[in-house]
Structure 1
Amino acid sequence: MLNTLPEGFPLAIIEEANTGFVIIDESLKLSYANPASELLLSQSFQRLYQQTLQQLANHYHFNPQSIKNVFKDKGAFNENEVTLLVDSQPLLISLSATYLSFNNNAYVIIELRCIEQQRKLSQVHYQEHQQKAAQDLVRGLAHEIKNPLGGLRGAAQLLESELPSPELKEFTQIIIDQADRLSALVNRLLGPQKMGERKMDNIHSVLEKVRKLVRLNLPDFIEIKVDYDPSIPDFEMQSDQLQQAFLNIVQNAVQALSPEMKQNSKITLRTRTAHQVTINGLPQRLAVEIKIIDNGNGIPNHLRDTLFYPMVTGKTDGTGLGLSIAQELIKQHHGRIECHSISGHTEFSIYLPMQL
């Protein structure tokens, strides 16, 4: 096997392990990677071999200093959640590094365990519970507001009909206009109540409508790129509702891109076929995967766990309803939406079953 480790180095155990192991020598170069780590990092050992720790850090976007400290202190290092960028996709792993001396040579053996799926499942269950509680509360408040709001509007109309002066009617019209504005907000808080009629349609047709709508007011420094899988067949959907869901997400992406980025600002719409996936606890033989990706500054940490809650927003002029409504529309299609975000890469992934 291609490596620079001394003869007799105990590799048998980690060679067959399901967990990824890589070994860095004291020159801070990769000396060994087991098959599980090749699969995890999406690179062959031949390509990983002899890469420096700094090259690996640059490629996978992690901080190498903690691993360097293991050599310095002859100790160990553990990090429960480290985000690597593998094939431009964020991947959450548990990382542990341990100092090892063999034949008077120093090494650090690094264990990489993917915890993306476990984190995702626990996060989905927790967030669904919290989101339902928040949505029930908001909808309850919205219903309580809607009835007196209708009475307020009706009273203003009656008063307007009794007023002799056009100048006074101007004030009742203000009341009516503001009541209508609040009523529209309440309707948005209540969200989509039921699925519209399903028809056979093409997911790319829906995405192209969204792209054309967004381009009408798109700043010059933002580019929208598409990466579609043309083999994805038509399937039953409520096109208008999916269009609204995708539009809400893309508009968020536009707002997340800063003018200071200039030429580098881009949004990517990507589609792929997903086989044998689990959506909302149910196995699906075939699904479509839609990714909406931007290279903005990322979602603030304090918003990530409550991102899809109603009334949660990081914008001073936002209502916090766009993503909540998008999630509800996706759920009505028996789909799932999730988000991964680090600085320079925010990715919304939507999974929709093609057959129910």
Structure 2
Amino acid sequence: MSINRVTPSPLEQTVVDHLSTAVMLFGADLCLKYLNPAAEMLFQFSARHVVGLYAGNVLPCPGTQVERRLRDALTSRHPFTERELNVVLLDGRTITVNCTVLPLHHFDADPEILVELHQVDRQLRITREEHLLSQHQATQALIKGLAHEIKNPLGGLRGAAQLLERELPDPGLREYTRIIIDEADRLQALMNRMIGSNRMPTRARVNIHTVLEHVRGLISAEFPSGPQVLRDYDPSLPELSADQDRLIQAFLNIARNAAAATGARGLVQLRTRVLRQFTIGSRRHRLVLLTEISDNGPGIPEEIKDQIFFPMVSGHPGGSGLGLPIAQDLINQHGGLIECESRPGDTHFYVYLPLEPEHA
């Protein structure tokens, strides 16, 4: 393909800069000459730090000889498209993209090569998140309905046991009515935990690292012999509008599971980052706070991976199965979402919270 190379007009430059598709331009030496803001956002690096680097350093694709494929395209002058290509980001995450490579040969200049990347796992993630949110809302509605139906006869049962206790002539028999009353109270407390609080979050300006440090202190007190808790915080993060007590409870539920899974010799890491132009469910946010809680425990059993946010589902013997559903509900109240990836020796919980003001 041969085209005349001309200097782009301001309008053309504006169009390329505002494309949602990542665009990168490499010279004949396969050094990066330009990338648009969408590419900066996709790879999470600044143009001034990567312009001039070789293609293999900018496009880390495991199992793919990037520079050889680009050089072949320059030689043959034939464009090509690679679908569902895995690209490793600076933070270790892997994204899936469709990659189109277009050689540009000019009459009066050295050839160049244009690379266009379209992230395909983003739409899959949005669909998964929407399903997760609707699933959680349906579950909560079902639980609240069941709790309402259970609480009424439970109150009558407790009241009848109290009346019976007063009428029993033998004090020794009151032990049995006391068991009925105590079990009714236990079930009542369980119902209250399952349906959560009806009160709206009391929002104030909150530093996420203050929340995480409080959680770290609680975990250290609860598990004095370990695991080791590492921190990787982004000190530039702004404060967010949130209910601090509810955030502490949500993160504590996740971190407690991680600590219990890893044991004394395990490792738990708390990590914070900011994401730009990020979608939670179907809503796109300018800034999103990502808090990651990871551990090197045995991982979540395969048979319950898709059910961990359902009440009464637990991978720990004797677990109540309420910690993660409650955490998801508390984060949902802030417009956020919790996601999980797990395999043996490597489990990650990702907590996404919008950083916009509440009224935005």
Asked whether the two chains share a fold, i.e. TM above 0.5, the reply is: yes
Partner of 1:93: 96
Q: Counterpart of 1:275 in 2: which secondary structure?
A: strand
Partner of 1:251: 256
- Aligned partners of 1:300 and 1:83: how far apart in 2? 26
Contact 1:19–1:113 (CA<8 Å) still a contact in 2? no
For the structure 1 residues 128 and 199, does the alpha-carbon distance in structure 2 shift closer, same or farther, using more than 3 Å as the test?
A: closer
SS at match of 2:307: coil
Deviations 1:74-122 (A, max 9, x none): xxxx997x988654544253799xxxxxxxxxxxxxxx98543122112
**Which position in structure 1 is the counterpart of 2:76?**
none
Match of 2:14 in 1: none
> 1:223 maps to what in 2?
228
Q: Which residue pairs with 1:317 in the alignment? A: 318
Structure 1 residue 283, shift from structure 2 partner: 2.7
- Counterpart contact for 2:129–2:280, Cα < 8 Å: no
Task: Report if the CA contact (8 A) 2:126-2:279 is conserved.
Answer: no
Q: Secondary structure at the match of 1:216?
A: helix
- Structure 2: which 5+ residue stretches go unaligned? 1-20, 25-29, 64-81, 100-116
- What is the identity, as a one-letter code, of the residue corresponding to 1:278? T
Q: Tell me which residue corresponds to 2:199.
A: 194
Counterpart position of 1:9: none
Q: Which amino acid aligns with 1:176?
A: I
* Residue aligned with 1:305, SS: helix
* Cα distance in 1 for residues equivalent to 2:239 and 2:176: 53
1: CA distance between counterparts of 2:293 and 2:89? 17
Partner of 1:168 in structure 2? 173
Please list the CA deviations of residues 150-208 of structure 1 after superposition, one character each: whole Å capped at 9, or x if unmatched: 11111111111112332111111111111111111111121232323222232221111
> Stretches of 4+ moved more than 3 A in 1?
17-20, 32-37, 39-49, 82-90, 92-96, 112-115
Moved more, 237-246 or 127-136: 127-136
| Paired residues for 1:1-356 under 5 Å | 45=54, 86-87=89-90, 89-91=92-94, 93=96, 115-218=120-223, 220-258=225-263, 262=265, 265-354=266-355, 355-356=357-358
Question: How many residues matched?
Answer: 285
- Structure-2 change in CA distance of 1:84 and 1:312 (3 Å): farther
Change in 2 beyond 3 A, CA 1:181/1:219 = same
Q: Give the secondary-structure state (helix, strand or coil) at the position aligned to 2:176.
A: helix
Q: Is the 8 A contact 2:215 2:252 kept in 1?
A: yes
SS at structure 1 position matched to 2:347: strand
Deviations 1:230-256 (A, max 9, x none): 222333211111111111111111122
Going from structure 1 to structure 2, the CA distance change for 1:235 and 1:322 (only over 3 Å counts) comes to same
Structure 1: state its 5+ residue gaps.
1-16, 21-31, 58-77, 97-111
- Residues 85/294 of structure 1: CA separation in 2 closer, same or farther (3 Å cut): farther
User: Residues 79 and 279 of structure 1: is their aligned pair in 2 closer, same or farther, counting only changes over 3 Å?
Assistant: closer
Distance in 1 between residues matched to 2:344 and 2:121, nearest whole Å: 18
The CA deviation string for residues 256-300 of structure 1, in whole angstroms up to 9 with x for no partner, is 2156xx3xx211111223332223322322332211111222223
> How far off is 1:328 after superposition?
0.9
Decide whether aligned partners of structure 1 residues 40 and 274 sit closer, same or farther in structure 2, where only a CA change above 3 A counts: closer
Q: TM-score, normalised by structure 1?
A: 0.68
Q: Which residue of 1 aligns with 2:10?
A: none
Shift of the 85–311 alpha-carbon distance from structure 1 to 2, 3 Å rule, reads farther
Q: Which residue of 2 aligns with 1:106?
A: none
Say if 1:224 and 1:266, in contact at 8 Å, map to a contact too: yes
**Worse-matched range after superposition: 240-249 or 344-353:** 344-353
> Distance in 1 between the 2:341 and 2:88 partners?
11
